[in-house]
Structures are given as structure tokens and as C-alpha cells.
Amino acid sequence: MQLTGAEILLECLIREGVEVMFGYPGGAILPTYDAMAKYPQLKHVLVRHEQGASHMADGYARASGRVGVCIATSGPGATNLVTGLATAMMDSVGIVAITGQVARGSIGTDAFQETDVTGVTLPVTKHNYLVMSAAEIPYVVHEAFYIAKSGRPGPVLIDVPKDVQTEKAEFNVENYPPRLKLPGYQVPKGASDEELQAAVELIRQAKKPIILAGHGIMMSGAVQELRELSEVSGIPVTLTLLGKGAMPESHPLCLGMMGMHGHAACNNAIQDADLIIALGMRFDDRVTGNLKTYAPHSKKIHVEIDASEINKNVKVDVGINGDLRTVLGQLLPMAPHKSHAEWMNQIRDWQEDSSEREILNHYSGEGLLGAQVINDLWRCTDGNAITVSDVGQHQMLEAQYYPHQRPQTMLTSGGLGTMGFGFPAAIGAKFAKPDEEVWAVVGDGGFQMTLAELATARQENVDVKIAILNNSFLGMVRQWQEFFYDERYQSTPMVNPDFCKLAEAYSIPSMRVTRRDEIEEAVAYARSIKGPVLIEFVILAEEIVYPMVPAGNDLNNMIRRPKPGENQS
Amino acid sequence: MNAPQSSKKHIIAALVENKPGVLNRVVSLFRRRNFNVDSLTVGRTHKAHISRVTMVIDGARLNPRQMAANLYKLVNVVDVKVISEGLHVERDLALVKVRTDDVESYNTVAELCERYPARIIDMGPEVAIVEITARTELVEEFIEKLKPVGIIEIVRTGVIAMGRGKRIQDTEYEPQVFENGQTATVERFSV
């Protein structure tokens, strides 16, 4: 059957299981938009800025484990996707971005709206394609989806010249998917017997072991295996920021988040441990602190799907390049049955110390704290919502005060730290999980970077709740200025719009909260409406996220919140 | 090029798919990961769809396995070997244009060509082009010896290398053929 390149592209997307794509039309992608009318089963969500489309595709992928799709025109449309691609790249999220390109004959002539998009996106994609004939499209699309979701997932971009979209080529449904020929792309599987033996021996000898669980647990679907290993061998688990949800945080062996703003008990335990078992995480500087003094007494096992991550930042004793679920499945029958009572008691002591410092246990001030907002949001949503945070203090407060029980319910830009990610990603997450409660937890700074998507939320009536923690400051930058720049608050105070009036302009219901006793009612109000709702929480600017490992410090050298009665240092 | 002798050089050879933009991907990776490339050469193999890239990397602080793992992450890179880890031969080729406007100069050049694997390949009225093919160290030694004669211009290929004996670096893979009979490999050399 002869179809146009645009029709072939859409046919292939449908066959890859795509149900929704987020995008913005323009000249060079118009043939594809025109063909969309023939494929009503493929829903298109019109965004207000292409960056929003890339974050929506990202949020969709993180919440569902499927590939998210965004689409944009050439030149400025494509360059606006770049931040979203870089975000997905750093957090290993499988998305496919489709961009229009000027006609083949015009490539390289600085034609109107021409940009070398495969060149621009090379460092921020797992792979990218410039499609030079309609006949290639089925191969490219199938490869793109396979590469995006397999191995260590990542973004893949397909750049399609306008005349390739209109060119006719033979397309036969029964030949789809075509056979993949990717000689240079192999997905690691399991561990060798030697590697497993070596790992088991280290676990057998360990007296103070700890598991560091990352995003990879969820991406390989190893949640159950992680829990079993932890329980069988009595090993406590600490989570990276993106690892939240890998193990229920109510589980007695789950200690919560490690790292720069992680729980002090986790950081102390890592520095004191005699065995680190790192699973699907990459020893980012935000979780290691000073590498020279990192986990100095421990042997280290690292199971990781990306071979180039093993021995990159931290030298390990046993490095296993493989799929976590497969490797843990191999390891479990061999795992020694153990418990580590003394070690757990030590960890409980550290936790007890933190609990004495916990601000929610002793704060009685007038002003509202971000910690109170997140804690109460957690309580009012039964700890069961999908929360999508932006970047900054509110993000760390979310990580600390909203314990998650299920995988893929805590979405945030961890690696790139992209302000503006939260709100559009929440819209994407809601499309992926229409039956779940989705909250965008954002700060006043980041929200203003992508708030144009309020119109998208209204147009599509996306049932996403927006919690703005408004302290009229770039709070995390302010915190660094307070600690490290002698309280010179250069360019961090913000004169903000009236967020509730802004919501009103978009016909979105809203409520402002200034006291703790109003939180419950506001959350109930938001939940009572099927559609977007904005709640502004006016919080104190002086709040500090504790503990904090200053960049480059030893991991257990944290700035702690003083205990009541102690002097502020 | 003139790195001190003490620095550690690694020779890495990669087989890559002969598709547009592949060399760009390789070079971009090195810049992105802050790997210091001494030389990089690329050329077709006996299979039209496969090219071979040879890189010399200055890596006192770098682990060649780490670099190889990073290279292998590129989808179009089919095979990577750290050639310098095993027995291997390596060759660098230089063309040197020297001043031979008097008999003494000419005699010096001719004499050097006797002692090194080099020969005069072009003789002009006042200049000559000398070709040398040898290990990098020998090429550099030769160039040093030519300097007093008067080097006017120089061009080098960079190192190519091959493992010795029966160890081979090859791939069985055949190129993708689309439904219309077109192949993914482009006709001309296109990395």
C-alpha cells in the first residue's frame, strides 16, 4: 500500500502502542499534523511551549514505564525540546521526540526555521536519526522505540524533512515491525557464576551491609526482588532521590533517602558500612559527597545496566553489568539468610537523633512551613498520590516528608535538576495514569518557567492538582546564599504574580493557604473537583532544608538542624 | 602531538557502521567526556558498510576500558578493542616537505632516508617531499633529524594499528536493506 511518509510515521507510532503525543505544530511538521485527522486513535495534546511537550512525554514515561512521545516543528520548535531531552537523558527516561526538518534539498542552506537538530541534540539523546527517505521510516521508528526503552533507557530523536513526510512509499502493515539490525547495540542480561559467587561471599562476610537502591530498580521491574534480598539477608535499604518508590518507605528495613539532603542516618550508615550494594544507581555527586572519603571502610558491589557507569566515580570490588531483575533473580537463591541486629540498633540510634531534631516535633511558630505542607498533603492523600516535584527546596521537602509506598509514584528531575519540569511532567503523568491522583508540587520560581501549560491543562481538562509552595524566593539558592555567601541574597527575592488570580485568568479554580489549619480543607477542595486546581501555600522564606551536605564535603559531615535548646551554629 | 614521553597512550580501534554522522558521534563523545585525543584516523574496511576508527588517547588519568565502554554505548559502534593492551603493530605516516636547495641539504635528506623507513617521493627545483611510514616514535625521531635541514610543511595520518597474530577485529553483520531495496549504507564514504 502506497502511503505518504507522514501516514507511515503515524501508522508506525500506533503499532508501537502510542496512544497520546504532546506537541506543537509548525511549517516543517505540518504534513504530519495534517495526516493526524486520519488517525483519531492517536490523541494529540496541544501544549503552549515545546519544552512543556518534552516534559509531558517524560512524565508520561516515568509514570507508566512506557515510551512517551513529543512532536515539534523544525528550528525553534526543535530547540525548545532540548531541555526536556537533556532532562530525560540524565534520568534515563525513554522518550521519542519527532521533529520536522526543512526539505532535503534545503538542508545546509540556512533555510527558514532550519537548525541542525541531530547535531544540537547529539549529546542529550541516547541516539538520533535524520530520516532521508520515506521507505526508512518503519525501520527508524521501530529502532527508536526499542533503543528508547531497552537497556538503560533514554531519549531518541527522529528528525523528518518536510518532503520525506509527503513522499510516497510502500507500507505493509503485516511487515511491521521490521527485523531490527542493530549490530552495535546489545542489552546486558545476567551475571556470570563467578560474579554471583563473589557477590554472595561479600554478603556472607558483611556485618554492616547496606543496599543503595536507585531508579534502575523500577526501570527493570526489580521491586519485589529488592525487597526479598533485603529481607532474606537482613540488609537495610537506602534510596536515591529517583529511587524513591523502589521499596515501601514504611518497611522496617527501608531507611529512606540518602545524599545531600538525605536522612542523616542513611549518610552515617553509608560511611560506616562494611559492604555497599549499589543497585541501579550511578554514584552521582549528590549522593556521594567527597569521593575521596566516600564509604571508606566498605567493600562494594555494583549492579548496573550501563557498563560505563561501573568504576566511573567509585571503584568497586564486584561490578556486575546486567539487568537488575535478572541479576537479583539469580542472586536470591544463593543469598545468605542473615540479620544484623547490632547494625540495625546503631542505625536506629542515628534515626532517634534525627527525630529529636525534627522540626515538625517542636515548631510552634506562626508562619507556615513547607515541611508542614508536604507532611499534611501526604496525610490528606493517604500517602498514595503520584507526586511530581519541580526543583529546589520544595523538591527536597517532598522527598523527605512524603514517603512513597509504590514504584513510579514520585517523579522529579534528579540528574539535570530542571526547574519548570514539575507542572508539565504532572500533566504527562496524568495522561499515563488517568485513575490516579496526581499532584504537581512546585515552587514559585520553577512554576513560573512553564506555567503557560495552565492553558493546556484547561483545554484538556487535565485532572492535576497544583500545589505551589510560595516563599517569594528562589529558596534553595537563598539557602546556599545564607550558608556560603554571607547572606547576600543576590537576585533571589521574587515579586510574584497573584497565583490565584492567574489561575482565574485560565478559568482554573484556586485557593490560597496561609495557616496550617487551612491545609486539610484546601486539599479536600482540590480533590473534590475533577479538573485542574491550583492551591497556593504561602510559606516562610527562612525555612532551611536540613540536613545538608555542603558540595564536596564528606557525606557524614552534614549541617544539621540544632536540637531544641541547642544554639544555632 | 608532542606530549611528553612519560604520558600513557592508549590505542583504541572501533568498527563503526558506515552511516552519515558516525564520526561526529565519536568525536563528540570524546569532547563530552573530556578525553584527550592525540590522533584519530578513519577509513573504510574491506566491507563497504563498515569503517574502522583508530584513536590514540592520552590517558594517564583515564582507564581505557572506561573509554571503550563509553564508545560502545554509541549505537553505531559495532565493536571496540583496546589494541594497546595486547601485542600489536602500529604505523604512522608523515609527508615532510624539506628545503633541498643545496647539495649538502639534499645529501643529508638522502642519507636519512637510507637510515629510516623513508623515501623521497617528489623532487622539485628547491624542495623535496619525503615520506616516512613507521612507529610514531620513529617518525618523530626522523622529523627531529630533518629539522636542521629546514622543514617547510608537514602532514601526518595519525596512528593506525592492528593486533598481531590470529586475533582479528571483524563483524559478521550485514547491512539493513529497506523494503524498496535501498540499503542504509551510503554509497560514498560518509562517516
User: Would residue A568 count as lying in a domain?
Assistant: no
Q: Kindly list the residues from chain A whose CB atom is less than 8 angstroms away from the CB atom of residue B180.
A: 133, 135, 169-170
- HEC profile of A433-449: CCCCCEEEEEEHHHHHH
* Digit-coded pLDDT (tens) for A32-45: 999 999 999 999 99
Distance CA A91, CA A364 (A): 38
B89-160 shares the fold of B1-87+166-191: yes
Q: Do B182 and A133 touch (CB under 8 A)?
A: yes
Q: What's the mean pLDDT in A305-333?
A: 97
SS3 assignment, position A403: coil
| Cross-strand bridge partners of residue A209 | A275
- In angstroms, the first-to-last Cα distance of chain B is 24
- The CATH number of whichever domain residue A7 belongs to comes to 3.40.50.970
Q: For chain A, what is the domain count? A: 3
Nearest residue on chain B to A146, judged by CA atoms?
A: B75
User: Would residue A360 count as lying in a domain?
Assistant: no
For chain B, the residues whose C-beta falls within 8 A of a C-beta of chain A are 16-17, 20-21, 24-25, 28, 32, 63, 65-66, 69-70, 72-79, 171, 173-176, 178-180, 182, 184
Residue with cell 502493515: A173
Please enumerate in sequence order all residues whose Cβ is within 8 A of that of A512, keeping only pairs 6 or more positions apart, or say none.
A499, A500, A535, A536, A538
* Cβ–Cβ pairs < 8 A, chains A and B: 67
Same-domain check for residues A256 and A300: yes
Segment among A364-373, A444-453, B176-185 with least mean pLDDT: B176-185
Residue with cell 600513557: B8
Q: Which of A11, A107, A128, A136 best probes binding to B when mutated, by most B CB atoms within 10 angstroms?
A: A136
User: Would residue A529 count as lying in a domain?
Assistant: yes
Q: Which of A503, A418, A422 is nearest to A56 (CA)?
A: A422
Transcribe A500-549 into DSSP letters: HHHHHHTT--EEEE-SGGGHHHHHHHHHHSSS-EEEEEE--TT---SSB-
**Would you place residue B180 in the very low, low, confident or very high pLDDT band (cuts 50, 70, 90)?**
confident
* CA of B41 vs chain A CAs: smallest distance (Å): 20
Q: Do A181 and B176 touch (CB under 8 A)?
A: yes
Nearest residue on chain A to B25, judged by CA atoms?
A: A122
Q: Which of A12, A16, A1 is nearest to A137 (CA)?
A: A12
The ipTM (two decimal places) reads 0.88
Q: Kindly list the residues from chain A whose CB atom is less than 8 angstroms away from the CB atom of residue B173.
A: 181, 183
In terms of C-beta density within 10 A (0-12 exposed, 13-18 middle, 19 or more buried), how is residue A79 classed? middle
Q: Which of B16, B17, B61, B73 best probes binding to A when mutated, by most A CB atoms within 10 angstroms?
A: B73
Q: Do B28 and A123 touch (CB under 8 A)?
A: yes
Q: Which of A308, A311, A315 best probes binding to B when mutated, by most B CB atoms within 10 angstroms?
A: A308
User: Contact at 8 Å (CB) between A56 and A84?
Assistant: no
Choose among A136, A306, A307: nearest Cβ to B178: A136
CB atoms near residue A250 (< 10 Å) = 10
CATH superfamily placement of domain B1-87+166-191: ACT domain (3.30.70.260)
Which residues of A have a catalytic role annotated?
A: 50, 112-113, 162, 476
* CA of B156 vs chain A CAs: smallest distance (Å): 28
More confident site: A348 or A565: A348
pLDDT at A302 over 70: yes
Three cell numbers written together for B31: 569532547
Same-domain check for residues A284 and A416: no
* CA of A375 vs chain B CAs: smallest distance (Å): 41
pLDDT at B95 over 70: yes
Q: Kindly list the residues from chain A whose CB atom is less than 8 angstroms away from the CB atom of residue B78.
A: 183-184
Q: Kindly list the residues from chain A whose CB atom is less than 8 angstroms away from the CB atom of residue B47.
A: none
Q: Do A135 and B179 touch (CB under 8 A)?
A: yes
Q: Do B178 and A135 touch (CB under 8 A)?
A: yes
- Across chain B, mean pLDDT equals 88
Q: Kindly list the residues from chain B whose CB atom is less than 8 angstroms away from the CB atom of residue A185.
A: 75
* CA of A325 vs chain B CAs: smallest distance (Å): 21
For chain A, the residues whose C-beta falls within 8 A of a C-beta of chain B are 118-119, 122-123, 126-127, 130, 133, 135-136, 138-139, 147, 169-170, 172, 175, 178, 181-185, 306-308, 310-312
- Across chain A, mean pLDDT equals 97
Distance CA A539, CA A475 (A): 11
- CA-to-CA dists, residue A71 to A36, A52, A338, A459, angstroms: 12, 11, 51, 18
Q: Do B176 and A311 touch (CB under 8 A)?
A: no
Same-domain check for residues A168 and A198: no
pLDDT at A564 over 90: no
Q: Which of A24, A27, A23, A25 is nearest to A112 (CA)?
A: A27
For B131, list phi and psi in degrees, rounded to 5: -110, 135
* Digit-coded pLDDT (tens) for B61-86: 778 888 899 999 999 999 999 999 99
Same-domain check for residues A398 and A310: no
* Digit-coded pLDDT (tens) for A510-538: 999 999 999 999 999 999 999 999 999 99
Q: Kindly list the residues from chain B whose CB atom is less than 8 angstroms away from the CB atom of residue A182.
A: 75
Pairing of strands B118-123, B127-134: antiparallel
Same-domain check for residues A453 and A524: yes
User: Would residue A518 count as lying in a domain?
Assistant: yes
Segment among A24-33, A44-53, B17-26 with least mean pLDDT: B17-26
Q: What's the mean pLDDT in A145-149?
A: 98
Distance CA A510, CA A442 (A): 15
Nearest residue on chain B to A310, judged by CA atoms?
A: B66
Q: Kindly list the residues from chain B whose CB atom is less than 8 angstroms away from the CB atom of residue A135.
A: 178-180, 182
* CA of A530 vs chain B CAs: smallest distance (Å): 44
The strands making up A43-46's β-sheet, listed across from edge to edge, are A43-46, A20-23, A68-72, A95-101, A156-161, A127-130
For B22, list phi and psi in degrees, rounded to 5: -70, -40
pLDDT at residue B6, as a whole number: 47
* CA of B81 vs chain A CAs: smallest distance (Å): 13
CATH 1.20.140.10 given to domain B89-160: no
* CA of A27 vs chain B CAs: smallest distance (Å): 25
pLDDT at A63 over 70: yes
- The CATH number of whichever domain residue A332 belongs to comes to 3.40.50.1220
pLDDT at B3 over 70: no
Residues of chain B with pLDDT > 70, as a percent, come to: 92
Choose among B69, B77, B79: nearest Cβ to A307: B69
Return the CA Rg of chain B.
20
Distance CA A437, CA A433 (A): 8
Domain ranges of chain B: 1-87+166-191, 89-160
Find the farthest-apart pair of alpha carbons in chain A and give their distance in angstroms, rounded.
Answer: 79
Q: What's the mean pLDDT in A486-503?
A: 97
pLDDT at residue A5, as a whole number: 98
SS3 assignment, position A393: helix
Q: Do B20 and A123 touch (CB under 8 A)?
A: no
Q: What's the mean pLDDT in A324-339?
A: 97
User: Would residue A186 count as lying in a domain?
Assistant: no
Nearest residue on chain A to B173, judged by CA atoms?
A: A183
**Residues spanned by the domain of A280:** 193-350
pLDDT at residue A568, as a whole number: 56
**Would you place residue A93 in the very low, low, confident or very high pLDDT band (cuts 50, 70, 90)?**
very high
Choose among B63, B174, B178: nearest Cβ to A139: B178
Segment among A307-321, B124-138, B167-181 with least mean pLDDT: B167-181
Q: What is the DSSP letter of A84?
A: H
For B133, list phi and psi in degrees, rounded to 5: -125, 115
* Digit-coded pLDDT (tens) for A176-197: 999 988 988 999 999 999 999 9
pLDDT at B45 over 50: yes
User: Contact at 8 Å (CB) between A376 and A515?
Assistant: no
